[in-house]
Amino acid sequence: MPNTKKIFKKLLIWRYKNISERQFVYLLSILVGFLSGLGTLLLKNLTFFFHYILEGKFIKDLHHSLYFIFPIIGLVIVFYLKKKIIKKDIGHGISTTLHAISKRSGIIERYKIYASLLTAPITVGFGGSAGLQGPAVSTGAALGSGVAQLFHMNTKTRMLLIGCATAGAMSSMFKAPVAAIVFAVEIFSLDLAFASLVPLLLASVSAVITSYFFLGKDILLGFELQDDFLIKDIFFYVFLGIGTGIASVYFSKMYFKITRFFNLFKDPLHRLILGAIAIGIMLYFIPPLYGEGYDIINNLLEGNAQKALEGIHYSVNFNNVWMVILFLLLITVFKAIAMTTTFAAGGVGGIFIPTLVMGSALGNVFAKIVNQFGGSVSESNCTLIGMSGLMAGVLHAPMTAIFLIAEITGGYDLFVPLMLVVAISYAFTKYFISNSIYTIELAKRGELITHNKDKNVMMMMRIDKLIETNFKMIHPEMSLGEMLKGSVAKSSRNIFPVVDDKNRFLGIVLLDDIRPLMFEQELYDKLTIQVLMKSAPAIIFHDDSIETVMKKFKESGAWNLPVIKHKRYIGFISKSKLLSAYRTKLIELTS
């Protein structure tokens, strides 16, 4: 081990001497893209392995009756993996990554490299109605952060490499390198400048090459555009945009409500039992909700809705188009419920793919209804565009929605209706829900990173790092003389916090206020601190945001303000140190 450290140290020294910072970031972005690509491939293959086992010849004969059992088994396994092996919270991949960027300077715990790899394939492979994109991002981001920490990169580079890992995961998952870059920029609010664009490009290409190397031309979503966009259909696309906007609001609201309901149960085991039974019942009666749902999307794109619904084991006449519409609507309505229930029960997965499934079903239903009433819109085009509308609305990622659907399907000719539906859906959803499922909790806590550099800098600063404790505390019953001998004579500061026996903050005494009294010895025993102290111009609470601290300094005009935690004094923050720290962080993040 010591020899390994010496070799690595020599490698770092050689790097500093021979490779420029920019060139080294380029090399690391390729490495991160490769690693995140491998992680995504491992996630997909493990999930497919469990699918293969459960679809085996012996089990297949009993498969329909086991739809109720499979997800329960999967969730129980995941529950014990989290409790006995991982022993830490996994969280939702993209949300936890955003939190790590905003509040932990891009430092992600190493266990998150393997946590999703262990749990997500079991959750989804055993029938949990979730996706793998979130876990892929979580794994890739942890790898990107780990690589940055290993080579002692600064905060800005760590954040960039996390973005590279995110682009790599997306690129490897869908073989859509351009959309992957857009996704990383849009979700993580990265600066789209030359310094960040080249590493993102390298990571995305590295990941997609890795995917091609191991999987060849096999892709999750494969479709060649068959029907052209016709200007006469523009009116229908406006309605489809409104429909996907309504569905996006429903998806998000349902997610929040179900999550709140399950949070009422404090015991994770109770959530597991309730959630597992609920998801099992849903999958038994609506089998297409099983797993990620790529088969549904591909079959609908190929115009084969009957095959998309073939898992339904009870007698239904799918030659009747209205029965097809009914069951596609059921998928649209229950996909959000099944997905959220999977998470609430303790499963690990993502929301990205469920939005595509829901959008494809809704778009196909829309086209079928229009055509049944005498219209002639393309079902495959509406299926594609429905996916983009849901993605834009639910994820609040309109540019990703446009480029991903166009890239994975070769549907660049549909840019006009894609842009129209995405714009309507996004605007409609944004009006009712200001933040996406990924970001709503972070936004509530003021921890959401945005393109506003000023707010980002303040959000990434930590109040603990700014507190100064070299102030001499005094008590209200002390005399002026005791204060002068015991505190003023031994302090280099001109402000003195007044606290009681329990360290509760009472006020302050300024050196300027007692300077005229310092030579009045007859007052030394007569005056007490209780008489001399005054209230602080403002008080900083330990859980205040830096933005709030800045406002308190501005409004009070003070240069030093006390910091209180649970009513107890812990130190002071000075305006000069605050502004200096702000400038340092700004340079760190923007240089």
Instruction: Please give the CATH number for the structural domain made up of 231-448.
Output: 1.10.3080.10
Q: Is the pLDDT of residue 226 over 80?
A: no
pLDDT of residue 335: 92
pLDDT class of 204 with cuts at 50, 70, 90: very high
Tokens at residue 528, please? 């007490």
Task: Judge contact between 36 and 142, C-beta under 8 A.
Answer: no
pLDDT score recorded for residue 61:
57
DSSP letter assigned to residue 534: B
pLDDT at 446: 63
DSSP state of 320: S
Mean pLDDT of 505-522: 82
- What pLDDT is attached to residue 222? 63
Residue 190: pLDDT over 80: no
Amino acid letter, residue 345: A
Radius of gyration of the chain from its Cα atoms, rounded to whole angstroms: 29
Find residue 499's DSSP bridge partners. Answer: 505
Q: Do domains 15-215 and 231-448 have the same CATH topology?
A: yes
What is the structure's pLDDT at 176?
A: 85
How far is it, in rounded angstroms, from Cα 68 to Cα 465? Answer: 52
- pLDDT for the residue numbered 223: 64
Distance, in Å, from the CA atom of 123 to the CA atom of 120, rounded to the nearest integer, reads: 5
What local confidence, expressed as pLDDT, does residue 361 receive? 93
Q: HEC profile for 442-489?
A: HHHCCCCCCCCHHHHHHHHCCHHHCCECCCCCECCCCEHHHHHHHCHH
Distance between CA atoms of 97 and 2, rounded to whole angstroms? 33
Whether domain 457-590 has CATH 3.10.100.10: no
Contact partners, residue 103, CB within 8 Å, separation at least 6: 447, 459, 460
Residues counted in the chain: 591
Q: What is the pTM of this model?
A: 0.80
Q: Which of 110-114, 153-157, 182-186 has the lowest mean pLDDT?
A: 153-157
Tokens matching residue 227: 């029907």
Direct distance between the N- and C-terminal alpha carbons of the chain, in angstroms, rounded to an integer = 36
Site of tokens 């979700």: 187
Mean pLDDT across the stretch 300-304?
A: 83
| Mean pLDDT value of segment 408-419 | 79
Is 510 in a helix, a strand, or coil?
Answer: strand
DSSP 83: I
Residue 340: which pLDDT band, with cuts at 50, 70 and 90?
very high
Please, is 344 exposed, middle or buried when counting C-beta atoms within 10 Å of its C-beta (0-12, 13-18, 19+)?
buried
The amino acid at residue 44 is K
The C-alpha atoms of residue 549 and residue 539 are separated, in whole angstroms, by 9
For residue 43, give both structure tokens: 């996630």
How do the domains of the chain map onto residue ranges? 15-215, 231-448, 457-590
Greatest mean pLDDT among 226-230, 383-387, 510-514 lies in 383-387
| pLDDT on residue 224 | 67
Give the pLDDT score at 29: 92
Please identify which residue in the block is written with the tokens 């209804």.
369
- Alpha-carbon distance of 504 to 228, in angstroms, equals 73
What's residue 567's pLDDT?
Answer: 84
Name the residue type at position 320. N
Question: What local confidence, expressed as pLDDT, does residue 143 receive?
Answer: 92
Half-sphere exposure at residue 574, Cβ-oriented, CA atoms within 13 angstroms: 10
Whether 411 has a pLDDT exceeding 70, the answer reads no
Q: What is the pLDDT of residue 583?
A: 84
The mean pLDDT value for 94-105 works out to 75
Q: Which of 92-106, 238-252, 466-480 has the highest mean pLDDT?
A: 238-252
58-97: pLDDT as tens digits: 555 555 566 678 888 888 999 988 888 888 878 777 777 7
- The model's pLDDT over 374-400, given as tens digits with 9 standing for 90+, comes to 878 888 889 989 999 999 999 888 999
Question: Which of 47-61, 63-77, 276-290 is the least confident region?
Answer: 47-61
Q: Which amino acid is at 359?
A: G
**Predicted local distance difference test score (pLDDT) of residue 447:** 59
Taking the C-alpha atoms of residue 461 and residue 584, their distance in angstroms, rounded to an integer, is 10
The two tokens of residue 465 are 């790092």
Instruction: Between 397 and 223, name the one with better pLDDT.
Output: 397
For the cut 90, the answer to whether the pLDDT of residue 434 exceeds it is no
DSSP 285-310: H-GGGSSS-HHHHHHHHTT-HHHHTT
State the average pLDDT over residues 117-135: 88
The torsion defined by the Cα of 359, 361, 363 and 365, in degrees rounded to 10, comes to -150
The conformational region for residue 91 under phi > 0 = left, psi -120 to 50 = alpha, else beta, is left
Least confident segment among 150-164, 353-367, 562-576: 150-164
Determine the pLDDT at residue 548.
87
The mean predicted confidence, pLDDT, of the chain is: 84
259: its two tokens:
């999550």
Q: Hey, what amino acid is at 220?
A: L
Question: Measured over all CA atoms, what is the biggest interatomic distance in the chain, rounded to whole angstroms?
Answer: 105
| pLDDT above 70 coverage of the chain, percent | 90
Return the ∠ at Cα 290 (arms to 289 and 296), rounded to 5°: 65
- Could you say which architecture CATH assigns to the domain 15-215? Orthogonal Bundle (1.10)
Query: Can you give the pLDDT at residue 247?
Result: 94
User: How confident is the model over 8-29, as pLDDT tens digits?
Assistant: 777 777 777 777 788 888 899 9
Amino acid at the residue 472: K
pLDDT at 438: 76
Task: Give the C-alpha separation, 420 to 24, whole Å.
Answer: 41
The pLDDT of residue 219: 61
Residue 57 has pLDDT above 60, yes or no: no
Would you state the pLDDT for residue 452?
A: 62
3-state secondary structure of 503: coil
Return all residues near 262 (Cβ < 8 A) that are at least 6 apart.
Answer: 271, 274, 275, 341, 344, 345
Sheet holding 568-574, edge to edge: 540-541, 560-565, 568-574
pLDDT attached to residue 429: 92
Tell me how far apart the alpha carbons of residues 180 and 171 are, in angstroms, rounded to a whole number.
5
Q: How far apart are CA 503 and CA 515, in angstroms?
A: 26
Q: Which one has a higher pLDDT value, 573 or 311?
A: 573
Segment 230-256 shows an average pLDDT of 92
Share of the chain above pLDDT 90, in %: 21
Beta strand pairing call for 505-510 and 495-499:
antiparallel
